[in-house]
Amino acid sequence: MLDFDFYNPTHILFGKGRIADLPKVVPANARVLMLYGGGSIKSNGVYGEVMAALAGRVVREFSGIEPNPSYETLMQAVELVRKEKLDFLLAVGGGSVIDGTKFVAAAVHFEGDPWSILENRGRNIKQALPFGAILTLPATGSEMNNGSVITRKSLHAKLPFSNRLLFPAFSILDPAKTFTLPAKQVGNGVVDAYAHVMEQYMTYPVNSPVQDRFAEGLLQTLIEEGPKALAMPDDYDVRANVMWCATLALNGLIGAGVPQDWATHMIGHELTALYGLDHAQTLAIVLPGMLRVRKDSKRAKLLQYAARVWNITQGDDDARIEEAIKHTQDFFEQMGVKTRLSDYRLDAQSIEAVLRQLGNHGMVSLGEQRDVTLDVSRKVLEMSA
């Protein structure tokens, strides 16, 4: 196992009706800014429950944080916090709202150009406002990690940043609040969580049986529960299991002490920034090709994955690996997420554009071995055409 630091201060409140516990976790004298998206929380009752729980407190609102939250929109929230002297942020929504809130938390007291937070991947953050989250979409893991991904529309740039000051103080996870998700977002969430596990598991062996078995357990649970979440959209237990899987997939636990890849995500971010695809759609396109192109350096883990996750034990090594990748791709399709560039009307020109942007953003030696050059990314995208 590799050396690691594991630090995660987020308090999780999980279960039905837990929004009512907000007054216990929001500091009594806080001047709160509640941030949310396009309005799903108004139609599904979440907004009303939050307001009732915080009755009598100072609460301002900022709405309109879009999927793939933009720097342009979030800077308006930063201005509001400064003007109204607010001191606690409450994100209510999916990963985009939580990520956007992390940026606002870091930008409010930032000296200098806040975009430099993204250029420095968050290393230059010196302080951040405290914040909590109420999660309505299981997918990103943002509710229990310190990462965020922000888009600057004017530059077609979608960049990640993180800092140890950016863990939510608490996150409330009520699986019943996910019943109103459109099927597309359920599928997206399961595929995103699956890809998060793969980015931390599908590398090379470092004798880490605990992390491996945690990862395999999460993958198998997503394979079992994901299709049920589509078929039985109001089954509480299914939603609860999917939600906890997505949180554990990216809260640092399975990634501690093992190599991590993330090349699929970095290429995916460029596809979203250029063409507006949903985050999970980009992962469903890139991941199968990534595994095929890099099957030699990932061979040992691919064989382990084939045997332990998909029970594939017959045939020669290459055949078992291909069968496991095919099962993965079929699973994404089963979740309603298409896996080819052509499914989204993207052609060879778009591959060139993605490669240019990867170059512009310094994404030229990705992956656990830093060997995913632009040439390798080209092969991956061509494999996914």
Partners of 12 in beta bridges: 171
Span near ligand NZQ by CB under 6 A; candidates 73-81, 104-112, 142-150, 360-368 = 142-150
Q: How far apart are CA 374 and CA 362, in angstroms?
A: 10
3-state secondary structure of 101: helix
Cβ 279 to Zn ion, closest distance in Å? Answer: 6
Q: How far apart are CA 22 and CA 49, in angstroms?
A: 10
Tokens 């089954």 found at: 235
The interface partner of residue 130, options being ligand NZQ, Zn ion, none and the CB cut-off 5 to 8 Å by kind, is none
Span near ligand NZQ by CB under 6 A; candidates 4-12, 108-116, 144-152, 314-322 = 144-152
Cβ 195 to ligand NZQ, closest distance in Å? Answer: 7
Tokens (6 digits) for 169: 């103080």
In contact, 351 and 385? CB cutoff 8 Å:
yes
Task: Map the footprint of ligand NZQ across residues 202-241, applying CB under 6 A.
Answer: none
Partners of 157 in beta bridges: 152
- Is residue 180 at the binding interface for ligand NZQ, with CB under 6 A as the rule? yes
3-state secondary structure of 193: helix
Question: Is the CB of 249 or the CB of 325 nearer to ligand NZQ?
Answer: 249
Contact characters 5-44, ligand NZQ, x per CB under 6 A: --------------------------------xxxxx--x
Tokens 């997939």 found at: 249
Closest CA to 271 of 325, 337, 352, 178: 352
Task: Map the footprint of Zn ion across residues 192-211, applying CB under 5 A.
Answer: 192
Closest CA to 134 of 78, 75, 174: 174
The interface partner of residue 137, options being ligand NZQ, Zn ion, none and the CB cut-off 5 to 8 Å by kind, is ligand NZQ
Task: Map the footprint of ligand NZQ across residues 50-109, applying CB under 6 A.
Answer: 67-68, 93-97, 99
Helix (H) or strand (E) holding 330: helix 317-334
Question: Is the CB of 38 or the CB of 217 nearer to ligand NZQ?
Answer: 38
Q: What is the contact surface with ligand NZQ in residues (CB under 6 A)?
A: 37-41, 44, 67-68, 93-97, 99, 136-137, 139-142, 145, 147-149, 177-178, 180-181, 185, 188-189, 192, 250, 265, 279
